[in-house]
Amino acid sequence: MAAPAVTGPILTLNNGVKMPALGFGTFANEGSKGETHKAVVHALNAGYRHLDCAWFYQNEEEVGSGIREFLSQNPSVKREDIFITTKVWNHLHEPEDVEWSLKDSLEKLQTPYVDAFLIHWPIASEKNADRTVKIGSDGKYVINTTLTNDPSPTWHAMEKLYSSGLTKSIGLSNFTQPQIAKILTYAKVKPAINQIEIHPFLPQQPLIDYCFSRNILPVAYSPLGSQDQVPGTGEKVSTNKDLIAVAEKNGWSLAQVLIAWGMKRGYAVLPKSSNEGRIKGNAKLVELSQEDFDAVNKVASGRWSRFVNMKDTFGYDVWPEEATK
């Protein structure tokens, strides 16, 4: 019998493409060989039908082999039943490199198309002749200021790939409201997605509202927060007593509460784990009562703690105004 799909919300992108609201993040710090393959198989068996990948993760071959293993064992599930996202990295923003990046990801994933192709960061950097990231004498990325300030050639290359059918939708990741507004001034194909960090310590309500107002779907990475502490206070999402109280009251895991909070706010969420038990647990979707939703919102109110900012690697800060918060 085929593994059942999670009975969660199905969201519709601005071009009519359907996206399961529950996605599985494939980024892995450990990088141990075989881990991503097994995690993808566990996720698909648990019912996930949305996989979030990226060229930068350097594990798309394992994602592809995991998908193939699952499909071979579940012949009633087809490739078109699985929503696959990939992303182009900073040093591949020149139009010819954007195309190369997608085709390289397709080859590794062993699929003729992806369902979404995103610009991973609103930062373009230089590359070496072998298409590796060019690093400056300061140990940071060498920024391509022309393409960073005017990403229109990059976006038009994305549009061309969308027209070719190699991707069913195109979108953004880590883009701010002004950066999205700039894209919209020249986009022939509107971004369908903006994938951003969202959790109760970084609720992002203004950016979420802006995206919805432009018919761009927010997608939350790091929806479970981080094991990192909030600088200055030492707080963690995972140990917040008010969030834990909502989970314990209902007999749920904290992860289930955080996933449900995101879904109730109307966007897609991308929890990640390599642990089979947690992968299965996260796929057991629950629904927050209004009282519990309000309790999580109360925790989120006034907070602004970003855990994912690669400014020290890039030598460029997407959110310089946050340094004073």
What three-state secondary structure class fits 282? Answer: helix
* Buried/exposed 185-221: b ≥16 CB within 10 Å, e otherwise: eebebbbbbbbbbbbbbbbbeebbebbeebebbbbbb
* φ, ψ of residue 18 in degrees (nearest 5): -95, 135
Crossing angle (nearest 10°) for helices 95-109 and 152-164: 40
Is 57 among the residues known to form the active site? yes
Binding site feature residues? 120
In Å, what is the CA distance from 210 to each residue of 9, 315, 320? 21, 28, 20
- Selected catalytic residue, list 57, 162, 221, 316: 57
Q: What is the DSSP letter of 151?
A: -
Binding-site sequence positions for substrate? 120
Backbone φ and ψ of 139, nearest 5°: 85, 5
**How, if at all, do strands 18-20 and 10-12 pair?**
antiparallel
Distance in angstroms (rounded) separating the CA atoms of residues 167 and 50: 15
Q: Which residues pair with 119 in a beta bridge?
A: 88, 172
Catalytic residue positions, numbered: 57
